[in-house]
Copies of this chain bind each other. A is one copy, B any other.
Amino acid sequence: MNNNPINIRVIPSLFTLANLLFGFLALALTMEGKYQLAAGLILLSTLMDGMDGKVARKLSVSSDFGYELDSLSDLVSFGVAPAILTYRSILQDQLGYWGLVFAAIFALCGAIRLARFNVLHISDYFVGVPITFAGGFMALILLFHGMLPWLIYAVLIPVLAFLMVSTFKVPKM
């Protein structure tokens, strides 16, 4: 396997790095006021995130390195990027710095969720809503920026933050 010109063990990590890259670019686009494009990039990250695990299992090259890189990327793409995007595009105008508090809580709860997931080693179900779902859902409704009332975003951000750190069992699909 190591004689391949490209080591196939790196392939899943390329999807994970694409996930991180899109999350990073979503932050850069948020700064430029391109909010819907930023939301679209976060949704692309969810696609990449769905691919890396599948590819790793298919190629039988799952690794601890891959798991670590996956968590790190998820925090940026589904914790920090949607929080900053929601704050900048909607909450800042409506709630000022309180909006930033809500956004920060979302990112912090996302980090707690990921760290807990990595040490629990439960594979049958999720404990609390996965960050990919929470961040992906925020990105999805941010695509409709300007079409939905701002209160929906202001309510969903703390609710999803709470659901991430909650101890509800969420079945895997």
Contacts and interface: CB of A to CB of B under 8 A. Distances in A.
A169 interface: no
Interface residues of A, number: 37
Chain copies in complex: 2
A24 B69 contact: no
Contacts of A36: none
A46 interface: no
A39 interface: no
A31 B28 contact: no
Contacts of A73: 111
Nearest to A23: B80
B28 A30 contact: no
B111 A17 contact: yes
A115 interface: yes
A126 B83 CA distance: 32
A88 interface: yes
Interface in A55-87: 63-66, 68-69, 71-73, 75-76, 80, 83-84, 87
B68 A115 contact: yes
A149 to B, nearest CB: 23
B115 A84 contact: no
Interface of A: 17, 20-21, 24-25, 27-28, 30-31, 63-66, 68-69, 71-73, 75-76, 80, 83-84, 87-88, 100, 103-104, 107-108, 111-112, 114-116, 118-119
